[in-house]
């Protein structure tokens, strides 16, 4: 692949609020969006902070006729339709949602949609209210009572709120994108795998343009408790009204790190074939030069790192460049020692000594780990680094002892041609996307 697919639109919803602009400004300013959870009472959870999105209403991001559709959207879906709206506006393309009365920029069959998603947890109060109507004399759940009628206390379309493919489905309906569509569900790798697959769809001629990225929210009780049980979250107690300083808690690539912090949100790119973008005179934000994937084998950190190494090397090969040409990396940097150790091993294996000089761009201090949403957000940030030739701040408690650029730093100018965006995942899937600065055509 030689930059035949380009990024022309960026769409984000994150702890910085709606829009890729807000994301970039927040990261440049070195201001964290992580704070005490307000969506539900977090006092019973070990980690009480997250990168939560405040004041977001999906109904403000869909056409008027679609507002009742919001009722069947889990939080993940609500965020996805906003990110897609932002991406379309940023790309300057006409779709059905943006303008139903004009001809769309692309024939509807030529627009693909690959939005990665997570396992969406049902809203606890909604289900609890229904389950509580179906108990036996001892107060336990009664299957018989449920089947005999209590089941009807659950809204008929309940299941459709929580199917992971509904992120893509709502976006395809809103924007009338009738090309190939998929929903990749590989935890943290979902977003980058989706971008890679969408690029391939365009390269093989099955679409001219499309939506690519991922969105997820684990800022809900069930998603949160699952992360807590996995042992990856830091224990952080913060009383209501008390401020939280992420710069004391988030320590990526540090063996003494207390664990990660979760978040919600996601990023969706609007991508096009270079030729299509050129024909419509679109402004290219960055080029997608390579993609690679690989699976993590079992073993120690060094052995496990082979999966990410393969993904990175495959992306470099795909782009036809050597590791020496990578100027910055947007890594996973979960802030959880085991995950980070595996990632650091992969970086050392691929980049050797030079890793200490490669700029790292991290997001978790600002947004929390947004899981399936992280890849899309990371790709957006990578593209903006290339566009502005600027690197955002890092709010880290860790130093550079790992040999990686893991210490705190303010925003700075840089000279960047290639940015690697990559991640490992808890399930073992690894993905890497190589971005290249836009060339004047």
Partner 1 sequence: MANGAPSPRVVITGMGWVTPLGCDVDTVWSRLLAGESAIAPVDRFCARSFPTNFAAQVREFDLAEHIDPARHPHADLHSRYALGAASVAWKQSGLANHDALDPGRFGVYLGAGEGVLDFDAYAAANIAGWQPESHDMDMALWAKLAGEGLTPEREAEQEPNMAAAHLAREFGCEGPSFNCMTACAASTQSVGEAFELMKYGDADVMLAGGAHSMIHMLGMTGFIRLTAMSTRTDDPATAARPFDATRDGFVMGEGAGIVVLETLEHVLARGATPLAELAGYGSSADAYRITDIHPEGLGAQAAMRRALDQAGVDPSKKTQDGHPPVQYISAHGTGTLENDSIETKAVRGVFGDLAPSVPFSSVKSMMGHLIQAAGAVEMMTCVQAIRTGWVPPTMNLHNPDPACDLDYVANKSRDMNPSGGVDVAMSNGFGFGGQNDTVVVRRFER
Residues 374-393 that bind partner 1 (CB under 8 A): none
Within 91-130, the residues that bind partner 1 by CB under 8 A are 108-109, 113, 117, 119, 122, 124-125, 127-129
- Cβ at position 100, least distance to partner 1 in Å: 13
Within 199-258, the residues that bind partner 1 by CB under 8 A are 200, 203-204, 206, 221-222, 224-226, 228-231
Q: Does 321 bind partner 1 (CB under 8 A)?
A: no
Q: Does 349 bind partner 1 (CB under 8 A)?
A: no
Dump strand ranges (E) for 31-130. 34-36, 49-51, 111-116
With CA atoms as reference, report the closest residue to 128 among 145, 141, 143, 144: 141
**Residue 217 and residue 13: Cα distance in Å, rounded?**
11
- Cβ at position 427, least distance to partner 1 in Å: 4
* Contacting residue, 22, 89, 131, 301, with partner 1 by CB under 8 A: 131
- Cβ at position 86, least distance to partner 1 in Å: 19
**Residue 289 and residue 315: Cα distance in Å, rounded?**
8
Site string for partner 1, 28-67 (x = CB under 8 A): ------------xxxxxx----------------------
> Would you state the structure tokens that stand for residue 110, as one six-digit string?
């030529």
* Contacting residue, 38, 60, 155, 439, with partner 1 by CB under 8 A: 155
Residue 177 burial by Cβ neighbours in a 10 Å radius (0-12, 13-18, 19+) = buried
- Cβ at position 38, least distance to partner 1 in Å: 12
* Contacting residue, 293, 328, 421, 438, with partner 1 by CB under 8 A: 293
* Contacting residue, 294, 331, 376, 392, with partner 1 by CB under 8 A: 294
Q: What is the DSSP string of 221-248?
A: HHHHHHHHHHT-B--B---TT----GGG
Cα distances from 269 to residues 79, 168, 220, 383, in angstroms, run 14, 13, 25, 10
- Residue 7 belongs to what H/E stretch? strand 5-14
Residue closer to partner 1 (CB basis): 323 or 405: 323
Q: Does 136 bind partner 1 (CB under 8 A)?
A: no
Residue 205 burial by Cβ neighbours in a 10 Å radius (0-12, 13-18, 19+) = exposed
With CA atoms as reference, report the closest residue to 85 among 211, 197, 190, 180: 211
Within 251-280, the residues that bind partner 1 by CB under 8 A are none
Q: Does 70 bind partner 1 (CB under 8 A)?
A: no
Q: Does 186 bind partner 1 (CB under 8 A)?
A: yes
Buried b (16+ CB within 10 A) or exposed e, 212-225: bbbbbbbbbbebbb
Q: Does 317 bind partner 1 (CB under 8 A)?
A: yes
**Residue 253 and residue 6: Cα distance in Å, rounded?**
32
Within 408-437, the residues that bind partner 1 by CB under 8 A are 425-430
């Amino acid at each position: 692949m030689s930059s035949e697919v380009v990024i022309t639109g960026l769409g984000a919803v994150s702890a910085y609020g709606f829009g890729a602009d807000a994301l970039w400004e927040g990261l440049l300013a070195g201001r964290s969006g992580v704070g005490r959870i307000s969506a539900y009472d977090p006092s019973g959870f070990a980690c009480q902070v997250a990168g939560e999105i405040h004041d977001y209403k999906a109904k403000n991001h869909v056409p008027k006729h679609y507002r009742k559709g919001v009722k069947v959207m889990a939080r993940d879906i609500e965020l996805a339709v906003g990110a897609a709206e932002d991406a379309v506006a940023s790309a300057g393309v006409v779709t059905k949602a943006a303008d139903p009365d004009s001809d769309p920029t692309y024939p509807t069959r030529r627009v693909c949609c690959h939005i990665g998603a997570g396992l969406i947890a049902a809203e606890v109060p909604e289900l609890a209210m229904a389950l509580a109507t179906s108990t036996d004399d001892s107060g336990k759940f009664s299957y018989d009572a449920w089947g005999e009628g209590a089941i009807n206390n659950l809204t008929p379309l309940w299941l459709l709120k929580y199917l992971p493919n509904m992120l893509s489905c709502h976006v395809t309906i809103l924007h009338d994108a009738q090309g190939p569509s998929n929903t990749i569900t590989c935890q943290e790798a979902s977003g980058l795998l989706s971008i890679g697959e969408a690029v391939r769809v365009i390269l093989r001629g099955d679409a001219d343009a499309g939506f690519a990225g991922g969105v997820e929210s684990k800022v809900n009780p069930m998603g949160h408790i699952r992360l807590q049980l996995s042992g990856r979250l830091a224990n952080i107690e913060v009383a209501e009204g008390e401020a939280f300083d992420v710069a004391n808690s988030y320590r990526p690539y540090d063996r003494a790190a207390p664990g990660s912090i979760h978040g919600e949100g996601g990023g969706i790119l609007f991508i096009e074939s270079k030729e299509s973008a050129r024909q419509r005179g679109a402004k290219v934000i960055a080029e997608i030069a390579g993609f690679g994937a690989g699976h993590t084998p079992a073993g120690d950190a060094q052995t496990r790192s082979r999966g990410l190494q393969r993904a990175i090397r495959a992306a470099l090969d795909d782009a036809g460049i050597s590791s020496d040409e990578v100027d910055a990396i947007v890594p996973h940097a979960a802030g959880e020692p085991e995950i980070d150790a595996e990632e650091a091993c992969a970086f050392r294996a691929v980049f050797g000594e030079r890793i200490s000089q490669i700029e790292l761009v991290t997001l978790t201090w600002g947004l929390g780990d947004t899981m399936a949403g992280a890849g899309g957000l990371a790709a957006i940030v990578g593209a903006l680094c290339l566009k502005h030739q600027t690197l955002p701040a890092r709010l880290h408690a860790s130093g550079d002892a790992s040999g990686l650029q893991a210490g705190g730093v303010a925003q700075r100018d840089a000279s960047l041609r290639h940015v690697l965006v990559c991640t490992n995942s808890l399930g073992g899937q690894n993905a890497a996307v190589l971005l290249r600065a836009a060339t004047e055509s």
